[in-house]
Amino acid sequence: MADLGQGIEALDRSLRYAKRVTDTISGTSLPTGIDWPQITKFARRGRDALAHGDERISDPGFGFSLRLSGGMVRQFGKTKRERKWRTDEIPVGELIDAIDALVDWLDKEASL
């Protein structure tokens, strides 16, 4: 599960870097065909899962968990600002497609 968490954290960092590129360079955008807002939101919550996971040990009512099951990545929890617990899930295939598209896009942008 550590590899899953590290991969989601890396995706979040890459998406934040990509946002800096698209915000800075006029006319630049991420590739079409991927639901980037959904992927970004999922990656951000996954990063939070990693950052706040240890808090579940000392205060089991607070924190996040990540699970890989049946081809889906599931995140469960609530942040400090949320009132309700919730589960977010996304198919592993969608994450793989988004990561592949993002890597290709970053490689292309870095070569310009």
User: 84 versus 52: which is more confidently predicted?
Assistant: 84
What pLDDT does 90 receive?
A: 94
Q: How far apart are CA 45 and CA 80, in angstroms?
A: 12
The total number of structural domains in the chain stands at: 1
Range of the domain at 64: 2-107
User: 5 versus 34: which is more confidently predicted?
Assistant: 34
Residue 112 maps to a domain = no
Instruction: Find all residues with CB under 8 Å of 23, minimum gap 6, and list them.
Output: none
* pTM (predicted TM-score): 0.80
Express each pLDDT in 7-33 by its tens digit.
888 999 999 999 999 999 899 999 999
Mean pLDDT to the nearest integer, 53-68? 61
Residue 85 maps to a domain = yes
Would strands 72-78 and 63-69 be described as parallel, antiparallel, or unpaired?
A: antiparallel
Express each pLDDT in 62-112 by its tens digit.
556 778 889 999 888 776 666 777 888 999 999 999 999 999 999 998 887
Q: How far apart are CA 58 and CA 55, in angstroms?
A: 5
**Helix ranges, 1-112 (H):** 2-24, 36-52, 55-58, 92-111
